[in-house]
């Protein structure tokens, strides 16, 4: 969903109060507040919030606040619904708040050029993604994508910890 005008924190509080699952991809950035540099946790993409609930529950909450809107697929015009497995994989990576994660819009990456892999050790053990070269990084990285919404490239992972999925 989209929480317009950078109201992701307000939307998260409301959804948590209603006992609905939600997730906003966040990362640490150096910001200047009151003339001092601080390290703050900020949303990766403003206005983006993932909600895990039944459509009727989402509609009930959405009817209470105008700033919470559905994100629709531009081609079909239908609401974007992400499968649980894909979302859990994305949250396992993006929820680590690792400083070395790189985020991309789906059109910035060509995942068909990469190799489907599974990570066999380390912080991201068991995660699956596509191994490819991404801009902004010297080496190839494992990328986890939510189709048509967002993609995240993991920190550099030693090749011994990666197995190819056929």
Give per-residue pLDDT as tens, 6-20.
999 999 999 999 999
What is the pLDDT confidence band of residue 106, given thresholds at 50, 70 and 90? confident
For the segment 9-38, the average pLDDT, to the nearest whole number, is 95
Handedness of CA 154, 158, 159, 160 (dihedral sign): negative
Q: Is the pLDDT of residue 47 over 90?
A: yes
List % helix, strand, coil for the chain (3-state, nearest 5). 25, 35, 40
Spatial CA neighbour of 96 closest among 126, 71, 123, 57:
123
What is the pLDDT confidence band of residue 36, given thresholds at 50, 70 and 90? very high
Q: Taking the model in full, what pTM does it have?
A: 0.89
């Amino acid at each position: 969903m989209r929480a317009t005008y950078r109201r992701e924190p307000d939307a998260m509080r409301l959804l948590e109060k209603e006992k609905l699952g939600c997730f906003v991809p966040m990362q640490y950035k150096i910001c200047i507040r009151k003339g001092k540099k601080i390290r703050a946790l900020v949303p990766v993409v403003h206005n983006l919030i993932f909600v895990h609930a039944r459509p009727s529950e989402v509609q009930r909450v959405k009817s209470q606040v105008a700033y919470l809107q559905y994100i629709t697929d531009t081609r079909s015009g239908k609401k974007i619904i992400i499968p649980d497995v894909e979302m859990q994989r994305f949250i396992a990576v993006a929820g680590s708040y690792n400083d070395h994660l790189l985020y991309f819009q789906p059109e910035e990456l060509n995942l068909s050029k990469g190799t489907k892999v599974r990570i066999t050790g380390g912080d991201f053990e068991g995660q699956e993604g596509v191994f490819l070269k991404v801009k902004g990084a010297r080496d190839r990285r494992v990328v986890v994508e939510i189709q048509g919404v967002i993609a995240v490239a993991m920190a550099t992972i030693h090749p011994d910890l990666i197995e190819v999925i056929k």
